[in-house]
Structure 1
Amino acid sequence: MNQLTTMERRGLSAISTPGGRMLIVAADQRNGMKAAMSDAPGSVSTAELAAAKADLVRYLANNAPAILLDPEVALPAVVDDGVLIRGTSLVVGMDASGFETVDGLRYTRLVPGMTARRVRELGGDAAKMLWYLRPDKQDAGSRVAAEMRELIEACTAEGVLLIVELLTYRLEGETEHEYAAAFAGLVADGARLARECGAKVLKLQFPGGAEGCAAVTAAAGGVPWAVLSAGVDHETFLTQVATAMANGAGGAMAGRSLWKDSLSVSPDVRRDYLTKRALPRLYELAAVLDG
């Protein structure tokens, strides 16, 4: 296990339920959230997206331990405008939208100007950075591992808990069957590589079942990991979370499974859907985590 500093322990506590389970509403998506708001995502303005994110905080995330938001649209407005309440912690997403492909491998980048210090300036209690990873092609000497180590060290020096999010993906020329057969092992091997790079907290894809979750827990070597919703429906995610928790996971970070059918572009309808659809789902998820 990679030891947490005192400030990182405070960050982990801030994003956790009373039972000590991580629970974060993920709302740092930009293009993906526009797609949930309209069949014509390009017609959704930045101002409309910012208003939707504020409503997500106001009517949903203010009832959770923490909210994950981006520094391009949502922040610092939800803090400066008093939308985010005192009892809900803020996780600042550091990754920019999209990725570049080099020699068949995907690479993400930081939002311009984002640093560990900037996370603090935005009022963050913790940070999150996404890396795409194929641990069968990338090892501890790879570019992605070097990027991971550098940011983890910078955040530790600043006293910011960094949540390392990993996404594995299918390579060009790899069949769906080949990828499906390798998937659980890729998630576990990714967790192992991130731990070797110094990760303190992990956000990971559901590795397919109880055996996969147990393998991830073993690979993480004591580093707490939370399962992400990856766009599955709410009932499916509840089942995945229960399986993950029974096999060593430390929490959940839920986005679209909570709110993807609640983001009408009409503010009145959005408020109604968030309070009557999304909020009960949040409470059900919290019950699974602490139950």
Structure 2
Amino acid sequence: MTNNMTTSERRGYQQICGSNGLMMVVACDQRGGMRKVLADTKEKQAAIDEKALGVVKSGIVRHLANKASCVLLDAVCAVPDVVDEGVLARDTGLLVGLDASGWDTDQNGYRISKLVPGITARRTRKLGGTGAKLMVYLRPDTPDANKVNIGIIRDCIADFAAEDLLLVVEILTYQLEGESEAEYKTAFPGLIVESARISIELGAKVLKLPFPGTAEACAEITRLCNGVPWAVLSAGVDHETFIGQVETAMENGASGVIAGRALWKDCISLDAKVNEERLESIASDRLNQIQDVLDRHAGRA
């Protein structure tokens, strides 16, 4: 299994990166998470249908993501509308999210990742995607927790390789039943590092990972990746915290950012005017600050 990109995949990767050669991707493929930002009760959240969510996402694309190198969107309520309606800028790449909202659990309480039905590599291409993003949950320290999800990674990598289309593999981890907060926090850096190792061994060519907690863990991920680019995600932390994480990740070999809630979580609204005003001012300023960090690290040896 090789982690080297083909010419077609490399072209796709170039298109999700900016002119500085680094990823600056605005993530807005969330559905359940975005509903929680938009409404404060389960009843109000349930009342936000896919069409309404699509309108909010379209606003994020128009007023924020078009200023970035790429946007990550779902195929449930956002794609292909942003393409067909001329919202997505011609110079902004498009990653299509393969994962469904939420997760299943097996008899042991382990998380089983879910995919949106029918969104294959071929379908991603038909939707206008530059490539796609797959998210799965792993607990590298608990092999029995990973069998199904590793199979999902392997199958998706094979599907996209057959179509010669770029695939970004995202790994999240989670707290096990009976595991304390302190135990999980202590284990977290190692879980992310080992998740990167597993993904590389399965043939991933671009990774999206949570900030692993330390500079040392970032450096170890870069060493394991051995040239495979990895982007740090925001996991919904506040912007000031995330800027520090981006700085540390970039200092230790990361190749960019795929960020969502840290940019827009307090900016989006079902009111289109409020959505526009806050995305054009607050969220766009945050995007510029992240871009400044990336620019300082561009062209490193």
TM-score, with length taken from structure 2:
0.94
Q: Is the 8 A contact 1:100 1:108 kept in 2?
A: yes
Which position in structure 1 is the counterpart of 2:258? 253
Aligned-pair CA distance for 1:108: 1.0
Aligned-pair CA distance for 1:47: 2.1
Q: Is the 8 A contact 1:189 1:219 kept in 2?
A: no
Which position in structure 1 is the counterpart of 2:28? 27
- Tell me whether 1:88 sits opposite 2:89 in the alignment: no
Distance 1:99 1:154 in 2: 22
SS in 1 for 2:115: coil
Gaps of 5+ in 2: 297-301
Task: Provide runs of 4+ in structure 1 moved above 3 Å.
Answer: none
Aligned-pair CA distance for 1:31: 1.2
Gaps of 5+ in 1: none
Which position in structure 2 is the counterpart of 1:242? 247
Aligned-pair CA distance for 1:143: 2.7
SS in 2 for 1:207: coil
CA RMSD of aligned residues (A): 1.5
Deviates more, 1:219-228 or 1:190-199: 219-228
SS in 2 for 1:244: helix
Distance 2:98 2:177 in 1: 27
- Tell me whether 1:267 sits opposite 2:268 in the alignment: no
Deviations 1:83-141 (CA, angstroms, capped at 9, x unpaired) = 111011100001111111112221112101110000000000010010000111138x9
Deviations 1:20-64 (CA, angstroms, capped at 9, x unpaired) = 111100000011111212223223232221110000001111111
Q: How many residues align?
A: 291
Deviations 1:233-290 (CA, angstroms, capped at 9, x unpaired) = 1111111001000001111111001100111221111110110111111111111112
SS in 2 for 1:284: helix
Distance 1:69 1:166 in 2: 17
- Tell me whether 1:6 sits opposite 2:10 in the alignment: no
Aligned-pair CA distance for 1:146: 2.2
1:269-284 aligned within 5 A? 269-284=274-289
- Tell me whether 1:189 sits opposite 2:190 in the alignment: no
AA in 2 matched with 1:227: V
SS in 2 for 1:253: strand
SS in 2 for 1:97: strand
Which position in structure 1 is the counterpart of 2:299? none
Which of residues 206, 209, 213 in structure 1 aligns to 2:211?
206
Deviations 1:180-211 (CA, angstroms, capped at 9, x unpaired) = 11110000000000000000000001011211
Distance 2:19 2:185 in 1: 36
Q: Is the 8 A contact 1:28 1:93 kept in 2?
A: yes
Which position in structure 2 is the counterpart of 1:78? 82
Which position in structure 1 is the counterpart of 2:133? 128
Percentage of identical aligned residues: 52
Distance 1:238 1:153 in 2: 35
AA in 2 matched with 1:80: D
TM-score, with length taken from structure 1:
0.97
